[in-house]
Chain A
Amino acid sequence: MAPAAELLDATKKYGEIEALRGVTIRIDLGDVVAMLGPNGAGKTTSISLLLGLRKPTSGKALLFGLEPTNLLVRSRVGVMLQESGVPAMLKVREIVDLFRSYYPTPLPRDRAIAMAGLDEKANALVKELSGGQRQRLYFALAVCGDPDVLFLDEPTVGMDVEGRRSFIDRIAEFARMGRTVVLTTHYLEEADQLAKRVIVIDRGVVIADAPPAEIKSKVAGRRVRFIAPAVSEKDFEGLPVTAVSITDHRVQLLTNRPEAVLRDLFQRGVEISELEVAGADLEDAFIAMTSH
């Protein structure tokens, strides 16, 4: 059987900019996949190709072995895009009904609304919804057709921690129905909670495709900053650090073992002031993953 979604050596150029440089991804029915990567890595472009919203410059993008623009194929796919609008003057239940009418075997309206946790807002106009509620409406629109494959492009962007957590639960619930879910995200925790497989994209190429635990072990978890008047690159030799940068005595590095690194630095006689240890965000971590 053809895979649910497939990119075959796909490249995409926007003018001079190469957004994708030969990406091959195969997603089978039932997979729950997270695409991770910093901004501009090519995640959204990959999704756009798979949805037929953009055409690959070379290579192929296929859904169920067919062109993604095929309407029969599209009727098996639900989509949540970044910053796409919906008509402000329709009520939640009206627009859900509208999107249901596009699909051959949609979910009951109330079920779709409930899955998104919008029961109380079913009669509200779209323009009255908050940012988070609007995001949930997009989710309702994505699942209302009871699709086999769900594409979610940064679904939790702009949500607070609480909102994100409950939203991830809703996606997980949908995935438990045996459906295929492909989501892009900045947040490693999301990928960890949800996906069985993580694809890391950076600068237009896939740099890792593995279970979340494996990816996480590669990612430096802490960002360490301090000021050291007399320090050179040499002082970091042999230490478990990545992405060391020294500018005007200000040092920044990434590591999974900040305690060990600092102990060794002290032993080497490096004087440190204004020490700061923080959780590295994924953006930093990916720089680390790709810069060695």
Chain B
Amino acid sequence: MLVQQTKAEFLKLWRVPAFSATSLLLPLVFYSFIGIGQASQVMQGGVRFGAYFLASMAVYAVANVMIFSFGISVATERGMKMDLLMRATPLPPLVYLLSRCVTAVVFAGLTLVVLFPFAYIAGDVRLDASVWFTLAYRVLLGSIPFIALGFAIGYLSGPNSAVAVINLVYLPTAFASGLFFPKQLLPQIIQNISPYLPLYRFGQLGWNAIGYPTSENVTADWLYLAGYGVVFFAIAVWAYRREESRKFS
């Protein structure tokens, strides 16, 4: 059941090029435009910009998958009243949720499978095997709060507005968190805000993994993310319950 459901969830996403192509290729495009030109520039701690920006894009790509895959599919299925039919089947809701999570993680993994070799070749990024690994597992693990965020957005916004809402929230925060340009280049006011943004904390985990000296220790970043995770999860559960009581009571 779980296998079939996950397979179906994966195909559903994979066959929508607007999702699969953008989540797999957009990070490569950004990396080409921003990362490659200055890849050899050396930053603090002797880290090359190519590696720094790889970490940025890994964080960007994975969080993007989490928010979009959940947000849009939940919103669309609510719009199509698919949730109604699913609820009448013997499929346990937990299996449904789990299959979505597995799919999102697999998809996020795929973006890394594409991004890492690209950075290796085009950005001439050379890292120890253990560093590649640390980067990968940190961005996958750190993305969990964003699953909950996507879920919450999916339940709070309509099928047509979900994309707009997500872009409106995600792109500006990605900029403000220094995922496209290092934080130091941002306006002072944004710099003051960014430490409180979940994506910034998520970014710190990535930059730290490739050896960039981040301002606080990694434990603080994990704790921040865990805190955001709890908040997002609470919102998601609240939104889900609200929907329950409206549609199914």
Residues on A lying within 8 angstroms of B by beta carbon are 51-55, 71-72, 74-75, 77, 79, 81, 83-87, 89-90, 94-95, 97-99, 101-103, 125, 138, 141, 145
Since A54-B248, A86-B85, A95-B8 are in contact, a sample of 15 more A-B pairs with Cβ atoms closer than 8 Å, ordered by chain A residue number, is: A55-B248, A71-B90, A71-B92, A74-B88, A74-B90, A81-B84, A81-B88, A85-B81, A86-B80, A87-B12, A89-B12, A97-B4, A98-B8, A102-B91, A141-B85
- Contact assessment for B8 and A86 in the assembled complex, using a CB-CB cutoff below 8 Å: no
Question: Judging by beta carbons under 8 Å apart, are A55 and B249 in contact?
Answer: yes
A-B contacts, 27 listed (Cβ < 8 Å): A53-B84, A53-B248, A54-B249, A72-B90, A74-B89, A77-B88, A84-B82, A85-B81, A87-B8, A87-B82, A89-B12, A89-B16, A90-B8, A90-B11, A90-B15, A94-B8, A94-B11, A95-B8, A98-B4, A98-B5, A98-B8, A99-B89, A101-B5, A102-B1, A102-B89, A102-B90, A141-B85
Q: Are B85 and A79 in contact (CB under 8 A)?
A: yes
Residue in B closest to A97 when the chains form the complex, CB atoms:
B4
B82→A79 contact, CB < 8 A: no
Contact of A81 among B85, B90, B91 (CB under 8 A): B85
CB-defined interface of B1-24 with A at 8 Å, one 1/0 digit per residue? 101110110011001100000000
Residues of A within 8 A of B126 (CB): none
Shortest distance in angstroms between B5's beta carbon and chain A's nearest beta carbon? 7
Return the chain B residue nearest A151 by Cβ. B88
Closest to A95 in B: B8
> Min CB distance, A132 to chain B, in Å?
18
Q: Does B124 sit within 8 A of A, measured CB to CB?
A: no
Contacts of A79 in B (CB 8 A): 85, 88-89
Question: When chains A and B are docked, how far (Å) is the Cα of A79 from the Cα of B4?
Answer: 20
Counting contact residues on chain B (CB < 8 A from A), the size range is 20 to 34
Contacts of B85 in A (CB 8 A): 79, 81, 84-86, 138, 141
A288 to B89, CA, bound (A): 38
Report the bound CA distance from A59 to B12 in whole Å.
Answer: 40
Q: Closest A-chain residue to B82, C-beta based?
A: A85
The docked-state distance in angstroms from the alpha carbon of A62 to that of B142 is 44
Tell whether, in the assembled complex, residue A83 and residue B8 are in contact, meaning their CB atoms are under 8 Å apart. no
Q: Tell me if A90 and B12 are in contact (CB < 8 A).
A: yes
Interface of A is mostly: loop
For B15, the chain A residues whose CB sits under 8 A away are: 89-90, 125
Residue contact B90 to A103, C-beta cutoff 8 Å? yes
User: Given the complex of chains A and B, what is the CA–CA distance between A97 and B11 in angstroms?
Assistant: 13
Given that A89-B12, A94-B8 are contacting pairs, would A53 and B91 also be in contact in the complex, using a CB cutoff of 8 Å?
Answer: no
Minimum Cβ distance to chain A for residue B239 (Å): 19
CA distance A84 to B88 in the complex (A): 11
Instruction: Please name all residues of chain A whose beta carbon is closer than 8 Å to the beta carbon of B77 when the two chains form the complex.
Output: 85, 87
Interface hub of A54, A79, A85, A125 (most chain B Cβ within 10 A): A85
Looking at the assembled complex, report how far the CB atom of A1 sits from the nearest CB atom of chain B, in whole angstroms.
Answer: 21
- Which chain B positions have C-beta within 8 A of A51? 88
The distance in angstroms between the C-alpha atoms of A276 and B87, with both chains bound, is 47
Contacts of A145 in B (CB 8 A): 90
Contacts of A102 in B (CB 8 A): 1, 89-91
Chain B residue numbers with a CB within 8 Å of A101 are: 1, 3-5
5 nearest interchain CB pairs? A85-B80, A101-B4, A89-B15, A84-B85, A74-B90
Q: Which residues on A sit within 8 Å (CB–CB) of B4?
A: 97-98, 101
Chain B residues in 8 Å Cβ range of A53: 84, 87-88, 248
- Nearest Cβ on chain B to A83's Cβ, whole angstroms: 6
* CB proximity to A under 8 Å, residues B199-222: none
- In the complex, what's the smallest C-beta–C-beta distance from A155 to chain B, in angstroms? 13
Residues of chain B in range 100-140 having any CB-CB distance to chain A below 8 Å: none
Are A75 and B90 neighbours in the complex by a CB distance under 8 Å? yes
- Asked if B81 and A84 make an inter-chain contact with CB atoms under 8 angstroms apart, the answer reads yes
Contact partner of A84 among B8, B12, B84, B90, CB < 8 A? Answer: B84
Task: List chain B residues, Cβ under 8 A from A89.
Answer: 11-12, 15-16
Query: Is A83 in contact with B11, judged by CB distance below 8 angstroms?
Result: no
